[in-house]
Amino acid sequence: MTALTEQRALIATACRVLAHRGLAPGVLGHVSLRVGHDRCLVRCRGPQERGLAFTQPADVRLVTLDGEMLEGDGYTVPNELPLHTEVLRARPDVHAVVHAHPPDTVAADLAGLTLRPIVGAFDIPGAHLAAGGVPVYPRAVLVRNRALAREMVAALGDRPVVLLRGHGLTATGASVEEAVLRARSVDTLAAMTLAVARAGGIPRDLPPDDLAELPDLGGGFTHDTAWRHEVASLPPVS
């Protein structure tokens, strides 16, 4: 129970980070975490729903991968729960899934701008992520059943993030923190790509030598320190 309490608090914080950074500014979006062979914790909606910016640990509920709510009290699972559960079924390397609706990410894709490694030391993890390619699921639908979710998972493949055209993104990670930070990197890259295009420029890939020169700064910096910054930047919950 102690572990579940800590995990609920972490997911609630992750939802608030997504909202604070503009990736999920309203009531849409959710975060999940695998907690067993066939269960996950996921941000649900309760009778006093106010949006991700106001998420509390009590909003995070235990469900099965088949969508069965194991805790009641008036909460409902997200309509797009299959988006999470099909990723968790298909990818044993993934323990956390983030679904968000970042406007810049959606706009860049709709403008026909492929997200590529156009920045280097500006965001090293983002550069390496983009270098491997950011796939796109081309259907602007609510991923509300297993068939649609499997289509999205097929588009994701073995990559950490997939864009959902006209919708948002799904980011994965070995931890909640990693999944959120990957979503942040993709949205930062999308914003930069849009800025270059608005300025009349053409987003161009880094030279291979520059990309190869970018070091792995280690999880202590790219994950732990970056996550502490995100949490410290949060406004208090009212």
Which residues participate in catalysis according to the annotation? 80
pLDDT for residue 221? 84
pLDDT for residue 219? 80
Host H or E run for residue 14? helix 2-20
C-beta of residue 134 within 8 angstroms of C-beta of residue 109: no
Superfamily of domain 2-230: Class II aldolase/adducin N-terminal domain (3.40.225.10)
172 three-class SS: strand
d(CA 144, CA 82): 6
203 three-class SS: coil
Convert the pLDDT of each residue in 9-56 to its tens digit: 999 999 999 999 999 989 999 999 999 889 999 999 998 899 999 999
Question: Looking at the whole model, is its pTM more than 0.85?
Answer: yes
Query: Could you report how far apart the first and last alpha carbons of the chain are, in Å?
Result: 26
12 three-class SS: helix
Listed by start position, the domains of the chain span 2-230
C-alpha to C-alpha distances, 169 to 32, 105, 161, 184, 229, nearest whole angstrom? 14, 8, 7, 11, 23
Cα–chain-centroid distance for residue 229?
A: 17
Low-confidence ranges of the chain (pLDDT < 50): none
